[in-house]
DNA sequence: AATAATTACTACGATATCGTACTAAAGGGG
DNA sequence: CCCCTTTAGTACGATATCGTAGTAATTATT
């Protein structure tokens, strides 16, 4: 359990730093940049607000990030025809390319996880992870007792 | 599995933002600050280098953080008697107090997890989490997107 | 239709992180 | 001892995030 604190404390400062050596291709581009490109790749063109929401970042931060990415030539911003206020963000050819590069890296990571985990473990892992995330985010007062979903028990190979 | 990407993308930018609302007591102090105080609380007095290592941050960042915390009166830095180069970082009374406050918040979080999870789930969760972390950090060559043998899928009742 | 409120962003300034270059103390031959 | 290397930390500058305060376009209200 102490390990859990440990992971938390490290991850708190430098998100996923523990895997960052592996992700050394992050050269020259921020983590935010990477996230943005990947989101655009997955979700298609989005407005600034939508992007910000997907990223979980404030809109003002999103502006900075977008400006940077535009300067580097990875995205383009065009004002929408229907509503002059909204800007539609699109991947350029280069941006799409870079995004795909990262996608494949992430697939590689995932693949590594999948080779290390059995299928059951994998499912367990994701299920539990999201359950945990849900528990944390839908905060509320710390209740001592709550109904819970039926536990699934499998044996884990170390 | 898409969800996993999702979590990654959000967490990548704003570490643990998904639980940050709950941690609203973070007012006025950085995540790094919090980590630092907690580490000092758990591990006792440390040198700058040791602290940096625990945090997983570069030493130069640690200097900034320490300076800030010193200015706010949460830590004190004293040069070691044996080696004039090293600075020993200590919690002040105030720092210790604040640290304990956060410790109890974290305990609360953990408690919430424990009420939501069964004992088996909890065990599996931590085990899998660390297994995953290990997989990522001691990464091998990581060839992007190799096709790999997919294990047989077994369905698990939720 | 004129005004008020809201929405979708951007600008700007404050503060954070971190790479590189530097300084000073400690250790290690010769 | 003196020089050379290593170690522990700081300084500084570049770049990032993000809260607050604007601005312009849209929608609502009377």
**ipTM of the predicted structure?**
0.80
More confident residue, A111 or B52: B52
Q: What is the CATH number of domain A31-116?
A: 1.10.10.10
Q: Which residue of A has its CA nearest to B55?
A: A10
- As a whole number, mean pLDDT of residues B75-101 equals 96
More confident residue, B34 or B145: B34
CA–CA dist A96, A73 (Å, integer): 11
Asked whether residue A85's C-beta has any atom of DNA/RNA strand C within 7 A, the reply is yes
Looking at residue B137, its pLDDT comes to 66
Percent pLDDT > 90 in chain B is: 42
Question: Taken in order A158, B5, B123, A19, is the CA torsion positive or negative?
Answer: positive
Torsion, CA B85, CA B65, CA B62, CA B103, rounded to 10: 110
Q: What are the tens digits of pLDDT across the range B13-53? A: 666 665 555 555 556 788 899 999 999 999 999 999 999 99
Looking at residue A153, its pLDDT comes to 46
- As a whole number, mean pLDDT of residues A112-140 equals 80
Asked whether residue B60's C-beta has any atom of DNA/RNA strand D within 7 A, the reply is yes
More confident residue, A146 or A32: A32
Residue B104 has pLDDT above 70, yes or no: yes
| Average per-residue pLDDT for chain B | 79
How many Å apart are A151 CA and C6 C1'? 46
What nucleotides of chain D have any atom within 7 angstroms of a protein Cβ?
7-13, 15-21, 24-27
Tell me which chain A residues have a C-beta less than 8 angstroms from the C-beta of B104: none
Looking at residue B89, its pLDDT comes to 98
The pLDDT confidence band at residue B96, using thresholds 50, 70 and 90, is: very high
CA–CA dist A22, B139 (Å, integer): 6
CATH 1.10.10.10 range(s) for chain A read 31-116
Looking at residue B95, its pLDDT comes to 95
- CATH number of B30-111, picked from 1.10.10.10, 3.40.50.300, 3.30.9.90, 1.10.730.10: 1.10.10.10
How many Å apart are B83 CA and D1 C1'? 21
User: Within 10 Å of residue A73's Cβ, how many Cβ atoms?
Assistant: 12
């Amino acid at each position: 359990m102490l390990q859990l604190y440990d992971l938390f404390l490290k991850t708190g400062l430098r998100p996923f730093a523990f895997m960052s050596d592996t992700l050394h291709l992050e050269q020259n581009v921020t983590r935010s940049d990477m996230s943005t490109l990947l989101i655009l790749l997955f979700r298609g063109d989005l407005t600034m607000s939508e992007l910000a929401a997907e990223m979980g970042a404030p809109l003002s931060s999103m502006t900075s990030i977008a400006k940077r990415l535009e300067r580097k030539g990875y995205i383009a911003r065009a004002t929408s025809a229907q509503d002059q206020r909204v800007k539609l963000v699109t991947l350029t050819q280069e941006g799409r390319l870079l995004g795909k590069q990262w996608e494949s890296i992430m697939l590689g990571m995932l693949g590594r996880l999948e080779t290390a985990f059995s299928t059951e473990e994998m499912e367990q892992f994701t299920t539990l992870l999201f359950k945990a995330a849900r528990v944390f985010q839908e905060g509320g007062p710390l209740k001592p007792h709550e109904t819970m979903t039926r536990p699934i028990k499998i044996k884990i190979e170390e």
